[in-house]
């Protein structure tokens, strides 16, 4: 054995303790660390020929790379929809790496049964019926991809062919209709051979990002044959929700597939104040929910659900003598793109086991409360304009005057040590988004954010040179 490997094996408990201390110090500093640190990116160094062991690697990481990491696991990182990591999820993730299971087939031990238990818990959490089966994937992009791959196979079934066997050319043109689809849907269509141009954008309701059901019905009437509807349950800019029951009725009337992208919006189901937003979620033929966002488990984790696991296995089956047969309950290897992967469900299992439905409802409620408070502050602050009512966990706003992308970027930069916001364009107007999804964000954090925002708006240089 290489001498450093042998030495590290002999000292493993102490080295894990040192790693734990480094992680604890990092987490301890999160609340006060600059949310986005300034400073140069380290120069890349050559591959070490011999290495110097784990202790040195820890020190090198702490010195060169750790200081440049953002506080995205901390309470005032409101960019994208990011979430953090609950203590139990962190413990589960550490143990995932320690056990290093490849739990994709029944030839291995109990890992995939743990994943099935976890998927069952998630089904209950989001109020889904037993008709939905699911599996874990790496993120919502992959969950949308799996859902749309099953939809593609369903379209083939309608036309008496199997795209999984015969290729997508046999399918002919496909239409995927959506009001305000997430960018990952186009990426999935590209990957699946359906093409980005298969995505047809249907008009939304006036001043909204929710699809207009009447416009969708017109598009379905005009379409030649079965379509796929991508419903949105939580758009990224304004967290708008399609009328899922109305869309399910159209699905039935026009013989379509209904995929729901509820990457973070599904968490509305946990809170009695917000559950009405996802009424009808269970009616999906396929459903996407991210776990590394609002469930607060580490990257990379999401779940996909479907009512047609038979079609799913047709797409993803990986027939090989040593992998076992499909049977009534196919092994995980036959259900998603990967053949081998980590026991991804464990972090989710831990956080659900530790905090249950009520603990996770508390996270959702506090995030929604934070967004409401910030939204009210933005609405009352001279110099800012709220662009949409706060429906759940995102505040979308802009400058009341001279709201150019440059000035908004300057505002975001001025805030970056205190709070991280991401730019967007909403209804043609440059804007900023503050997305609450971290379990650690407190009411005091929200007050700090409001204060920082007031100061930054006040100090923002007056309008630059006016443009022609």
Ligand X SMILES: *Cc1c(COP(=O)(O)O)cnc(C)c1O
Interacting residues with ligand X (CB under 6 A)? 81, 139-141, 182, 184, 234, 236, 261, 263-264, 290, 302
Q: How far is the CB of 91 from ligand X (least distance, A)?
A: 22
Strands 302-306 and 384-386: unpaired
Cα–Cα distance between 8 and 99 in angstroms, integer? Answer: 18
Q: Which two tokens stand for residue 335?
A: 């259900």
CA distances to 75, 81, 210 from 27, rounded to whole Å, are 11, 20, 38
Residue whose token pair is 């109305």: 246
Identify which of residues 71 and 137 has a Cβ nearer to ligand X in the complex: 137
Neighbouring-strand partners of residue 286: 259, 306
3-class DSSP state of 460: coil
Give the DSSP H/E element, type plus range, for residue 290: strand 286-290
Identify which of residues 242 and 418 has a Cβ nearer to ligand X in the complex: 242
Q: How far is the CB of 327 from ligand X (least distance, A)?
A: 30
Q: How far is the CB of 394 from ligand X (least distance, A)?
A: 10
Identify which of residues 263 and 431 has a Cβ nearer to ligand X in the complex: 263
Q: How far is the CB of 107 from ligand X (least distance, A)?
A: 30
Identify which of residues 126 and 264 has a Cβ nearer to ligand X in the complex: 264
Q: How far is the CB of 142 from ligand X (least distance, A)?
A: 7
Q: How far is the CB of 432 from ligand X (least distance, A)?
A: 17
Cis? peptide before 300, omega within 30° of 0: yes
Identify which of residues 96 and 143 has a Cβ nearer to ligand X in the complex: 143
Q: How far is the CB of 380 from ligand X (least distance, A)?
A: 28
Identify which of residues 212 and 290 has a Cβ nearer to ligand X in the complex: 290
Cα–Cα distance between 73 and 92 in angstroms, integer? Answer: 16
Burial class (CB in 10 A: 0-12, 13-18, 19+), 198: buried
Q: How far is the CB of 167 from ligand X (least distance, A)?
A: 26
**What residue ranges in 61-153 does DSSP mark as E strands?**
133-137
Cα–Cα distance between 183 and 193 in angstroms, integer? Answer: 16
Identify which of residues 79 and 163 has a Cβ nearer to ligand X in the complex: 79
3-class DSSP state of 418: coil
Largest Cα–Cα separation, the chain: 71
Q: Which residues of 250-264 are buried (b: 16+ CB within 10 A; e: fewer)?
A: bbeebebbbbbbbbb
Identify which of residues 368 and 403 has a Cβ nearer to ligand X in the complex: 368
């Amino acid at each position: 054995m290489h001498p450093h490997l042998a030495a590290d094996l002999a000292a493993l408990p102490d080295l894990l303790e040192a790693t734990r201390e480094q992680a604890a110090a990092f987490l301890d500093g999160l609340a006060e660390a600059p949310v986005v640190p300034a400073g140069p990116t380290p120069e890349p160094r050559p591959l070490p020929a011999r290495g110097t062991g784990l202790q040195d690697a820890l020190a090198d990481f702490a010195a060169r790379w750790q200081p440049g990491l953002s506080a995205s696991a901390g309470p005032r990182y409101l960019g994208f929809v990011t979430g953090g990591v609950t203590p139990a999820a962190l413990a589960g993730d550490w143990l995932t790496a320690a056990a290093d299971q490849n739990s994709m087939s029944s030839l291995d031990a109990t890992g995939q049964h743990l994943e099935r238990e976890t998927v069952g818990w998630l089904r209950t959490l989001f109020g889904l019926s037993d008709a939905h089966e699911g599996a874990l994937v790496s993120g919502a992009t992959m969950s949308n991809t799996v859902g749309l791959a099953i939809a593609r196979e369903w379209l083939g079934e309608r036309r008496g062919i199997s795209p999984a066997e015969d290729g997508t050319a046999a399918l002919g043109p496909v239409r995927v209709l959506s009001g305000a689809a997430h960018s990952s849907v186009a990426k999935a269509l590209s990957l699946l051979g359906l093409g980005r141009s298969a995505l047809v954008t249907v008009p939304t309701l006036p001043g909204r990002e929710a699809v207009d059901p009447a416009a969708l019905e017109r598009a379905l009437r005009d379409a030649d044959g079965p379509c796929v509807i991508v419903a949105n349950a939580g758009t990224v800019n304004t967290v708008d929700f399609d009328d899922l029951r109305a869309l399910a009725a159209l699905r039935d009337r026009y013989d379509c597939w209904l995929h729901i992208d509820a990457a973070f919006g599904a968490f509305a189901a946990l809170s009695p104040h917000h559950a009405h937003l996802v009424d009808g979620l269970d009616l999906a033929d396929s459903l996407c929910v991210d776990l590394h966002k609002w469930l607060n488990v580490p990257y990379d984790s999401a779940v996909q659900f479907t009512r047609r696991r038979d079609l799913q296995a047709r797409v993803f089956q990986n027939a090989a003598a040593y992998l076992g047969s499909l049977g009534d309950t196919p092994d995980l290897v036959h259900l998603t793109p990967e053949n081998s992967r980590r026991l991804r469900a464990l972090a989710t299992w831990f956080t659900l086991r530790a905090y249950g439905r009520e603990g996770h409802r508390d996270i959702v409620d506090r995030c929604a409360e934070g967004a409401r408070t910030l939204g009210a502050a933005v609405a009352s602050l001279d110099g800012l304009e709220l662009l949409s009512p706060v429906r759940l966990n995102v505040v979308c706003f802009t400058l009341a005057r001279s709201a150019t992308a440059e000035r908004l970027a300057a505002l975001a930069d001025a805030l970056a040590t205190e709070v991280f916001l991401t730019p967007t364009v909403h209804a043609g107007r440059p804007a900023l988004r503050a997305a609450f999804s971290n379990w650690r964000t407190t009411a005091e954090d929200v007050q700090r954010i409001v204060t920082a925002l007031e100061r930054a708006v006040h100090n923002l240089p007056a309008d630059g040179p006016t443009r022609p």
